[in-house]
A = this chain, B = another copy of it.
Amino acid sequence: MPKLRTLDQALEGLTDGMTLMIGGFLAVGSPETLVDEVIRRGVRDLTLIVNDTAMPDRGYGRLFANGQVSTLICCYMGMNPTAIAQKDEGKLAVELCPQGSLAERIRAGGAGLGGILTPTGVGTIAEEGKIKLELEGHTYLLELPLRADIALLRAHVADRAGNLVYRKSARNFNPLMAMAADYVVAEASEIRDIGGIDPDHVMTPGIFVDAVVGVS
């Protein structure tokens, strides 16, 4: 099942109102080319699940200035004044979630779990609206799984079977999001033939990935 696609083919299913997960941490490990295509297509009313809002001119951060995002789930907005302003003006609905809980929620979405119990956020505003459980003297918040219609990933190397290898700290949320969306696209700067990645070095198995786009 060769999965190499053109940029246009890879995102032809993208429509208004979809929920997107986009990999990256302050725009590092973020699929810049796939985000370009989201901008080119001009889809609106997106729900974004991201670690952070990056910067107004970098990574998925650009989608805010372009007015494409109506709902945001993330853990940090501090480097994107545009997104903050949209939140303050009531144009952007925001759910803030502690970073570790966000990672587990996305993982749970991909792993078929109904949720996870975490001590993080107990006694803070992060517990608002969440079920609390007492177990053996400890209090936990029940954090629910997150899933998306489409996940956009940035890999370093991909093969034509969709296997992905990430590089250094550009890995971050990419492998988690790869498991938690109905349709998964990865851009990669190096495309290899099937068999070109040692099966022990694969970080995201190709079975999670629907399309691969080569980028320069």
Contacts and interface: CB of A to CB of B under 8 A. Distances in A.
Interface of A: 104, 108, 111-119, 133, 135, 138, 140, 142, 144, 165-168, 199-201
Top 10 A-B pairs ranked by shortest CB distance?
A114-B117, A114-B140, A115-B117, A116-B116, A113-B116, A114-B135, A113-B117, A113-B118, A114-B138, A201-B201
Given A167-B200, A200-B167, A200-B168, A115 B135 contact: yes
A204 to B, nearest CB: 13
A29 to B, nearest CB: 13
Contacts of A144: 135
A121 to B, nearest CB: 12
A112 B121 CA distance: 13
Given A167-B200, A200-B168, A140 B115 contact: yes
16 contacts: A104-B111, A108-B116, A112-B119, A113-B116, A113-B118, A114-B117, A114-B118, A114-B119, A114-B133, A114-B135, A114-B140, A115-B116, A115-B135, A115-B140, A116-B116, A117-B142
Contacts of A133: 114, 142
A135 to B, nearest CB: 5
Nearest to A168: B200
Contacts of A104: 111, 113
Nearest to A201: B201
A117 B143 CA distance: 10
A146 to B, nearest CB: 13
A111 B116 CA distance: 11
A166 B199 CA distance: 12
Nearest to A104: B113
Contacts of A117: 113-116, 142
Given A113-B117, A114-B138, A201-B201, 10 more contacts: A112-B118, A113-B116, A114-B135, A115-B116, A116-B116, A117-B142, A133-B142, A135-B144, A166-B200, A168-B200
